[in-house]
Amino acid sequence: MVEIKSDAALDVMREAGRVVAHALAAVREAAGIGVSLRELDEAARAVLDKAGARSPFLGYQPSFAPTPFPAVICTSVNDAVVHGVPTDYRLRDGDLVSVDCGAVLDGWAGDAAISFTVGTPRPADLDLIDATRRALDAGIAAAVPGNRVGDIGHAIGAVARAARCGMPADFGGHGIGRTMHEDPHVPNRGRPGRGFPLRHGLVLAIEPMLMAGGNDDYRTGEDGWTLHTTDGSRAAHIEHTVAITDAGPRILTLP
Ligand code: MG
Ligand code: MG
């Protein structure tokens, strides 16, 4: 079922989104060569705690997962695409890191992700992050009343294709509201003019995940959570929670 939110609910979701943005900023600030993924999780946890927000990631166990998720962020490094579990791994020079974070504040959720490099970046990684950012921007630009969910995926897919990047077909964006994952599903490839109609008050998490190797295959790691590329190529993942409004897309997960 798809829930259309009131304007008052959108304003509360904006505050939840702001907490997510601040947590991601704290992670970005804490990240560096030699810093562990667990320490990044602690940085995000401190922001959520201070804001009085709950983590929708902590303890989350979807059907595919073997264990409840143990952290408030996902940390996906290099060939990891999404759902990476924070471990004692310490970041190295040249790593590409994607961090996904959620927060629930006053009963409403926000969800966003960033990708960045550590130390001296590989030029190809900067290109990949740039393409993922452009894919997200294109998806957000298509998130307007009168369009359909397929228009968002079509816009994202066009950017990914032009950048010769692959995308894991089974994973994409989603409706979001009182819980982190709601209908409708927002595929990262879509057919224009198809799917759920977009209207004022619909809120979607839009999240392109691009794989530099160009194929769409992925494998699940031994932890049962982390998605990896099958060719060892690197991946990037950037996400915003976006409200469709009559005044245009309203990004709820900005600082
Ligand atoms: Mg997310
Ligand atoms: Mg999401």
Q: How far is the CA of 254 from the centre of ligand 2 (A)?
A: 15
């809120």: which residue's tokens? 203
Q: Tens of pLDDT along 179-195?
A: 999 999 999 999 999 99
Q: How far is the CA of 111 from the centre of ligand 2 (A)?
A: 5
Pairing of strands 182-186, 108-117: unpaired
What are the extents of the domains in the chain?
Answer: 7-251
Q: Tens of pLDDT along 85-103?
A: 999 999 999 999 999 999 9
Q: Tens of pLDDT along 51-79?
A: 999 999 999 998 888 999 999 999 999 99
Question: Of 53, 89, 85, which is closest to residue 69 (Cα–Cα)?
Answer: 85
Tell whether pTM > 0.95. Answer: yes
Strand residues in the chain grouped as ranges (E): 73-77, 80-82, 96-105, 108-117, 173-175, 182-186, 203-206, 209-211, 218-220, 227-229, 235-237, 240-243, 250-251
Q: How far is the CA of 246 from the centre of ligand 2 (A)?
A: 23
Q: Which ligand is nearest to the CA of 69?
A: 1
> The domain 7-251 is classified under which CATH number: 1.20.120.1200, 1.10.3720.10, 3.90.230.10, 3.40.50.800?
3.90.230.10
Separation of alpha carbons 37 and 89, rounded Å: 6
